[in-house]
Amino acid sequence: MEWSIQEIAKKAGTTSRTLRHYGELGLLEPSRIGANGYRYYDQAALVRLQRVLLLRELGLSLPAIAEVLEGQRDPAAALRTHLLLLEQERERIGRQIAAVRTTLHKTEKGEELMAEEVFDGFDHTQYEEEVSRRWGRDAYEKGDRWWRSLSAEEKQDFMDRQADIARAFGDAARDGLAADSDEVQAIARRHVEWLSSTTTPTKQYVTGLGRMYVDDPRFTAHYDKYGEGTALLVRDAITVYAERNL
């Protein structure tokens, strides 16, 4: 079974022009092109388009999506990853909705609020299992103790520093600066210094983190909101910095 480009565009809530653009970028090739020049898409193409649209909703740029698709040749495995991310996000948003509903109810009734109720769904411990798996339980517990020891002002300062660094990388990406340029390496140094607030950044740790910024759609989306290709630049820049200095 196959569908025309107009049919797919309508069902996917997009446009034929967008689908052709995806084709030009190598993100979504038509299954065949008819004698009339029309593009047709089969089931495999539909699955690939779904992956593209899911990654777009996560905030990834088109170049970043191309890299993700290139690195995930098994569609079923990729879809399982997407499904897990969507389920985690649904659970988190559900907790936030419940927290806001509780806050609204108690505020209207003049009842006492509990911090645990107000901030449910907003805490960083959602990454506990992932951090423990990647770097060990000790790494998570050390980071968790450090984070909880900070005051609200210190936590905000830590996040503001990260945002400033990411913004600088975004500016560099838009200016087309090379990862090994002096300007970008200065930003990479700031990034590694920022990491040293929570751990001792080794070469292996920094390069592994760089790969995760591109391989994990959540991190890619975070960086690419500062400009397309920012996550790729961060990965390459901190990898060069690690090779030279760590």
DSSP states of 174-199 as a string?
HTT--TTSHHHHHHHHHHHHHHTTTS
The model's pTM is 0.49
Residue whose C-alpha is closest to residue 87's, from 63, 54, 114, 113: 54
d(CA 191, CA 223): 13
Name the residue ranges covered by the structural domains of the chain.
Answer: 2-71, 150-245
Per-residue pLDDT of 65-114, as tens digits, reads 887 777 766 777 767 776 777 776 677 677 767 777 777 776 777 766 55
Whether the per-residue pLDDT at 59 is higher than 70: the answer is no
Considering the chain, what percentage of its residues have pLDDT values greater than 70? 78
Our CA angle for 196, 201, 205, nearest 5°, is: 140
Residue whose C-alpha is closest to residue 67's, from 226, 211, 241: 211
Domain made up of 150-245: CATH architecture: Orthogonal Bundle (1.10)
Per-residue pLDDT of 162-209, as tens digits, reads 889 999 999 999 999 999 999 999 999 999 998 888 777 888 888 888
N-term to C-term CA, the chain = 54
CATH 3.30.465.10 for domain 2-71: no
Tokens 């593209």 label which residue? 52
